[in-house]
Structure 1
Amino acid sequence: MNFSLSLLSDPETVHLLLTGLSVTLRLFLGALVCGFAIALLLTAIHLIPSRIVRAMIGLYVEYHRNVPTVVQIMVWYFGMPEVLPKALKMWINQGNSEFSFALIALSLNVSAYYYEDIRSGIKAIAGTQLEAARAVGLSSVQALRFVVLPQAVRIAVPPIINRSLILFKDTSLAMVIGVTELTYQVKRIENITFQTFQIFMISTALYLTISLLIALLGAHIARRYPANFKR
């Protein structure tokens, strides 16, 4: 059996790999940004002194943390369109609905983890800091935005980076609904060339390289913005 990397000399194979890698990175970055924004919104909403609101957030978090990610993706792709008006459903299907629904599912999923990481960071900050911020005239939202959140996010950097690594790997689950990301294209190449070992070794190297780059970036951010706070 030939274990060479001769596949990379084929322009069509390289094109498929680059196309899949591009989709994977767009899906990852889109879900990361949207998920973090949703997590910050949930953190702000959690300040509302309402048991109902906090219970709803709790249910949201428990669902996304305890239901398999691949199931959540399929629920959005196969289930959600069925409850939409027919006109809206047809409009969605005109575009790249597979990518859109995968992006929504991954964003919501990772937001639940980011929210818990940020909330843990907030709990690590002394309550007197919030009281001091309110004492100088800041509102609850302003105190959260300017005093608490900057420190909480710094404290939460390690678990956020770890969850981001998992998010990057979870993008491969989007292939179950036909998103042409890296794993989808790798399987397509394998079906054409029958060079299973070679193509999966190439994909392994790509995933490993990008994961290490994310980890290195996270380590740099942690050093650049250390969680220096006084309890």
Structure 2
Amino acid sequence: MSIHGLAVVANNFHLFLIGTLITLEITALSVGMGMILGLLIALMKMSRVKFISIIGVAYIDFFRGTPLLVQLMLFHFGILPLFFDTGPFVSAVITCGLNSAGYIAEIVRAGIQAVDKGQMEAARSLGMTHTQAMKFVVLPQAYKIVIPPLINEFIMLLKDTSLVSVISVAELTFRGKLLYSTTYEPVWVWGTVCLLYYVVTKSISMLGDWAERRLATE
């Protein structure tokens, strides 16, 4: 380690912060997409219509069973260009969102199944349709159950966004690579990258713990 390395970090710290913000932006957009699509996939997997259930299972198996790095290559260089011209950022959000949906679908499914079946039966006996009972009775209760694993999924995806650097998205890891390639200060550069990831993930984890305690008192 050297004074030169410290100067490199100090002079370029704003670049690290910009990279961190881009990392958070990708993560937030991807998880948002993943939550919407994940709920749909979870309901498809739980469907009594076999064909729909098979599609849900196949989706989850594919995105949970293949590496995110390979998915990024497949969608950015292969599938997405067939339909429209996307930049690396959009490709990263779409791919990470599709990947996250596979994991969130299982989280949501587990949350729904954790709700007492008597809740659905009671709602149906009051004249609600299955959709109404799911929307107004089951899902609000499942929401409290899935908050902790959803926070964990957010943290896991945030760390996985380091992989989008391979398609030239200028997030935190990509900026670390650029700075290291010109300064050759591995300890200072990568140490700073690690520290920023840790600070962000720890902050999110603490926020999740706070939310869990709040929900437990309601």
The TM-score normalised by the length of structure 1 is: 0.88
Cα drift, residue 78 of structure 1: 1.0
Q: Which moved more, 1:37-46 or 1:161-170?
A: 37-46
1 CA distance for matches of 2:66 and 2:72? Answer: 10
Equivalent pairs counted in the alignment come to 217
**Aligned-partner Cα distance in 2 for 1:82–1:202:** 35
Q: Take 1:40 and 1:128, find their aligned partners in 2: how far apart are those partners?
A: 21
**Contact between 1:121 and 1:156, CA under 8 Å: does it hold in 2?**
yes
Write the distance in 2 (CA, Å) between the matches of 1:134 and 1:76: 42
Would the aligned equivalents of 2:112 and 2:139 in 1 still touch at CA under 8 Å?
A: yes
In structure 1, the partner of 2:181 is 191
- Does structure 2 conserve the Cα–Cα contact (< 8 Å) formed by 1:44 and 1:141? no
**Aligned residues: CA RMSD:** 1.8
Q: Which amino acid aligns with 1:7?
A: V
Corresponding residue number in structure 2 for 1:211: 201
Letter of the aligned partner of 1:8 in structure 2?
V
The separation in 2 between residues aligned to 1:221 and 1:82, in whole angstroms, is: 40
2:42–2:56 contact (8 Å) kept in structure 1:
no
Aligned partners of 1:147, 1:181: CA distance in 2, in Å? Answer: 40
Match of 1:5 in 2: 6
Higher deviation after alignment, 159-168 or 100-109:
159-168
Give yes or no for the alignment of 1:128 onto 2:118.
Answer: yes
The change in CA–CA distance for 1:125 and 1:81 in structure 2 (over 3 A counts) is closer
Residue 143 of structure 2 is aligned to residue 144 of structure 1: no
Unaligned runs of at least 5 residues, structure 1? none
How far did 1:8 drift?
A: 3.4
User: Cα 1:81–1:127, aligned 2, differ >3 Å: closer, same or farther?
Assistant: closer
Match in the other structure for 2:155: 165
**Structure 2: segments with no counterpart, 5+ residues:** none
For residues 123-164 of structure 1, what are the alpha-carbon distances to aligned partners after superposition, in whole Å with 9 as ceiling and x for unaligned? 111111101111112221111111111111211222222221
Instruction: For 1:81 and 1:146, locate their aligned partners in 2 and report how far apart those are by CA, in whole Å.
Output: 37
Structure 1 counterpart of 2:26: 27
Instruction: Calculate the TM-score normalised by the size of structure 2.
Output: 0.93
Flag the 1:83–1:227 CA change in 2: closer, same or farther, 3 A.
Answer: farther
Choose from 88, 92, 110 the match for 1:98: 88
Q: Which runs of 4 or more aligned residues in structure 1 lie more than 4 Å from their structure 2 counterparts after TM superposition?
A: none
CA distance in 2 between counterparts of 1:32 and 1:162 reads 11
The aligned residue for residue 18 of structure 1 is 17
The one-letter code sitting in structure 2 at the alignment partner of 1:52 is: F
Q: Percent identity?
A: 33
